[in-house]
Chains A and B, each alone.
Chain A
Amino acid sequence: MSVGLWTEKYRPSSLDEMVDQKDIVERLKSFVEARNIPHCIFAGPPGTGKTTAALCLAHDLYGEGYREHLMELNASDERGINVVRETVKTFARIRSIGEIPFKIMILDEADNMTSDAQQALRRTMERFTETCRFILIANYSGKIIEPIQSRCAPFRFTYLPKEDLVNRLRYIAEQEGARVWDEGIDAVLEVSEGDLRRVINTLQAAASMSKPIDSETVYSVIGRANPVDVREMIILAMKGDFLGARERLREMILKYGVAGSDIIRQIHIEIFRLEVPERWKIKLADAVGEIDFRLVQGADEEVQLSALLAKLVEAGYEMRRSV
């Protein structure tokens, strides 16, 4: 049995190993040949190879000791302005020793940086261009302020095509000696949303159950990985059981640590799957959107979501009355 998590074990270490995002990889390779890179923004959905591409680029540029010339910061964990003023600046200003005169700073999940921090970053990027190049990684480049965008070469990562996901899955399964039925692979892909990380994690968790992987194994993994039944909570609320629904909500947030933004995203999906009159769906979506916006403004997840649940209670009652 292998060591560690397969997502890391099978992460390509060089641009040559990257099979997807062909256009992007070609452009990055030309940077390596020129021994020079501009500041970059890698934008695109999760699990499409953004971080991998950045790491591969650094590897190909500096060789095996590339870690010495590289700093990886994750804006979700360190997103305040002080990080930019201290950590980033200190790293950026010191010249690299070696053939290539600049270092690389990878700012992952950069769309989570506060706008203050982004403003501070803008100056740093300019002043220390000679000694440091930045690669900003984000799901949405739109959340990165205009002045930074204009200083960076943009790269748009796209969803991986289905056959590439299948090939990757089969390759890893073969290497690990895990047997996977076709229906198992279909099931993995069905829920992966094109996210290779999720595909591989699902595969490894399914393989850990030590038997040939069929669709049933995959579904049980998915069920266990998402213990949260948002649909059930919505239905409870619409039947009028506010307290029961609030209890579920609490469990999700406090016990399983599910983020409010994820719960609301799921509620939004479920609303349109409900068996309710069509005109109600759009009304409910409006209510969901309002709560989503409030969460962005820094309001408390449980309080906001339970206000939404109370609205669902009301909506459920109105619907029953009008039937």
Chain B
Amino acid sequence: MYAAWTAKHKPRSLSEVVGNREAIQEIVRWVKSWDRGVPRQRAAFLYGPPGVGKTVCVESLANDLNMELVEKNASDYRTEEAVQRFAGLASQYGTLFGRKRLILFDELDGITGTEDRGGLRAITSIVKTAMCPVVLIANNAYDPRFSALRNYCLLIEFRKPPIVEVVKHLRRVCVREGIEAEENALRFIAQRSEGDVRSAVNDLQALGQGKKRLTYEDVSWLAFRDRKEAIFDVLRLIFYAKSCEAAKKAMDMTDVDPDMLFEWIYENAPHQLQDLHDLAKAMDALAVADLYRGRIKSTQDWKLTRYVVDFMTAGVAMAREKPTLGWVPFRFPERIRMLSRTKQERELRSQIGMKVRRRCHISSVRAVKEVLPYLRIIFESNTEMAASIAEWLDLDEAMVEYLAGGKARTIMKHLG
């Protein structure tokens, strides 16, 4: 149930592998050439950055051509002796039952000089004499350790797939998991992964598992995951600054959006300032900073931004008179998470407000405030009345469910 999506949704066939069409064609051509006798190069050396589909490509290839895949990777011992034991397999073209064999040495970068003594030499000698296709995989084929080996290999480079390809793959995964995802949410994940499909799928799982919808808001806070350390440094400087200057300078250390930094400070102030007078002062400084934000919004006078910065940094720093006892960890702004969690609810609410407005001659804002609470009571306690109102207001199923909770199904049945 909770399998890693990278494994669960791994391509099973070459047609599903993301990007790298040329490299794939080249390796297929080379494997097929074995049918006409042993080719000049008995090994293919696939190289490229992590997560671009090298291993997946070989596995899919074996699957598509119905070959037996024999694999050694970094988790296996790869000493000279161990590899030589393995070599027997490589000395014959097919298996007993006629299935052709494909030998894979994965994660060659991980071969160590001490633990795997002589391993590379043994691999080289296998490659020289192999009677079946051998595939080598590493991130960097031009590592000096591979210089002898490289001469006997067909070098095939794997590149980062374009963003659109990654998005397509993520979309496929979402469809299979029954997630409805916003295009720009997937694009954001893809872009951030910089062509590493595996990490993109991992991120997708972390953000999307168990959800029905994935929005841009859901994923955008990923950005902070990477820069969390940087933010923590800035927060420390602000909360513990001794001078206004120092607190204000901390702002320049980060490229975090000031509104976002505000949220971090706002969330953490009550935890970092333990004295209640200090806290009241700090919260007031934040409120004043926020007031300037409001003024900027209504006047579009952006030069007022400097006062926002003054109060959210120096104002908070100067609020402290008593030291904080012990070490208090920083927390992620809960409000941001709540905002994105409740986004759907809020949207639904205002949609119902619009429906009420059409019928009741009041603004949708007031409808949400003044009518919706009563609707909720009626929908929870009287299916018949609820059904008639739902019909009259032209509510859809999601709206009925929002108002009625568990009773929604009976109400919908009433509506037919």
B282, B284, B290, B360: which contacts A7 (Cβ < 8 A)?
B360
Bound: A56/B258 CA distance, A = 52
> Given contacts A4-B393, A224-B373, A225-B374, are A210 and B335 in contact (CB under 8 A)?
no
| Stretch touching chain A among B140-148, B199-207, B235-243, B384-392 | B384-392
- Does B362 lie at the interface of the complex (its beta carbon under 8 Å from any beta carbon of A)? yes
Residues of B within 8 A of A65 (CB): none
A297, A300, A313: which contacts B279 (Cβ < 8 A)?
A313
Residues of B within 8 A of A8 (CB): 359-360
Bound: A302/B266 CA distance, A = 10
Q: Are B338 and A257 in contact (CB under 8 A)?
A: no
Bound: A302/B284 CA distance, A = 12
Q: Are A298 and B298 in contact (CB under 8 A)?
A: yes
A201, A227, A299, A313: which contacts B276 (Cβ < 8 A)?
A313
A112, A226, A246, A306: which contacts B373 (Cβ < 8 A)?
A226
> Given contacts A254-B339, A297-B295, A299-B293, are A201 and B374 in contact (CB under 8 A)?
yes
- Does B220 lie at the interface of the complex (its beta carbon under 8 Å from any beta carbon of A)? no
Q: Are A4 and B277 in contact (CB under 8 A)?
A: no
Residues of A within 8 A of B364 (CB): 74, 76-77
Bound: A262/B381 CA distance, A = 27
- Does B366 lie at the interface of the complex (its beta carbon under 8 Å from any beta carbon of A)? yes
Question: In the complex, how many angstroms separate the beta carbon of A285 from the nearest chain B beta carbon?
Answer: 17
Could you say which interface size class chain B belongs to? 35 or more
Bound: A192/B338 CA distance, A = 33
B357-372 interface mask toward A, CB cutoff 8 Å, 1 = contact, 0 = none?
1011111111011111
Q: Give B325-361 interface residues, CB cut-off 8 Å to A.
A: 334-335, 338-339, 342, 345-346, 349, 357, 359-361
Could you say which interface size class chain A belongs to? 35 or more
B284, B345, B384, B393: which contacts A307 (Cβ < 8 A)?
B284
Q: Are B294 and A297 in contact (CB under 8 A)?
A: yes
Q: Are B346 and A257 in contact (CB under 8 A)?
A: yes
Residues of A within 8 A of B378 (CB): 204-205, 208
Bound: A72/B389 CA distance, A = 23
Bound: A310/B335 CA distance, A = 17
Residues of B within 8 A of A309 (CB): 283
- Does B260 lie at the interface of the complex (its beta carbon under 8 Å from any beta carbon of A)? no
Residues of A within 8 A of B56 (CB): none
Question: In the complex, how many angstroms separate the beta carbon of B18 from the nearest chain A beta carbon?
Answer: 38
- Does B286 lie at the interface of the complex (its beta carbon under 8 Å from any beta carbon of A)? yes
Bound: A299/B366 CA distance, A = 20
Bound: A171/B226 CA distance, A = 65
> Given contacts A77-B364, A109-B366, are A299 and B385 in contact (CB under 8 A)?
no
> Given contacts A198-B370, A221-B377, are A4 and B342 in contact (CB under 8 A)?
no
Q: Are B362 and A1 in contact (CB under 8 A)?
A: no
Q: Are A262 and B384 in contact (CB under 8 A)?
A: no
Bound: A64/B346 CA distance, A = 38
Q: Give A207-246 interface residues, CB cut-off 8 Å to B.
A: 207-210, 221, 224-227, 240, 242-243, 246
- Does A162 lie at the interface of the complex (its beta carbon under 8 Å from any beta carbon of B)? no
Q: Write the chain B residue with the least CB distance to A201.
A: B374
Bound: A13/B228 CA distance, A = 61
Q: Give B141-199 interface residues, CB cut-off 8 Å to A.
A: none
A210, A225, A254: which contacts B382 (Cβ < 8 A)?
A210
Most chain A C-beta atoms within 10 Å of own C-beta, residue among B286, B287, B295, B386: B287
Q: Give A1-15 interface residues, CB cut-off 8 Å to B.
A: 1-5, 7-8
Q: Are A109 and B360 in contact (CB under 8 A)?
A: no
- Does A156 lie at the interface of the complex (its beta carbon under 8 Å from any beta carbon of B)? no
Bound: A299/B266 CA distance, A = 14
Residues of A within 8 A of B295 (CB): 297-298
Residues of B within 8 A of A209 (CB): 377, 381-382
Q: Are A201 and B290 in contact (CB under 8 A)?
A: no
Residues of A within 8 A of B294 (CB): 294, 297-300
Bound: A159/B363 CA distance, A = 21
A287-309 interface mask toward B, CB cutoff 8 Å, 1 = contact, 0 = none?
00001001001111011101101
Most chain B C-beta atoms within 10 Å of own C-beta, residue among A221, A250, A294, A300: A300
B278-307 interface mask toward A, CB cutoff 8 Å, 1 = contact, 0 = none?
011011101100110111011000000000
A and B contact pairs by CB, cutoff 8 A, 21 listed: A3-B391, A3-B392, A4-B389, A75-B363, A76-B365, A77-B364, A77-B365, A208-B385, A221-B374, A225-B374, A254-B342, A291-B287, A294-B294, A298-B297, A306-B266, A307-B280, A307-B286, A307-B287, A310-B280, A310-B283, A311-B284
Interface residues of A (CB under 8 A from B): 1-5, 7-8, 46, 51, 55, 72, 74-77, 108-109, 112, 197-198, 201-202, 204-205, 207-210, 221, 224-227, 240, 242-243, 246, 250, 254-255, 257-259, 262, 291, 294, 297-300, 302-304, 306-307, 309-311, 313-314, 317
**A-B contacts besides A1-B388, A197-B370, A294-B294, 20 pairs, CB < 8 Å:** A1-B385, A3-B392, A75-B363, A76-B363, A76-B365, A205-B377, A208-B377, A208-B381, A209-B382, A254-B338, A257-B369, A297-B298, A299-B294, A303-B266, A303-B287, A306-B266, A307-B283, A309-B283, A310-B276, A314-B280
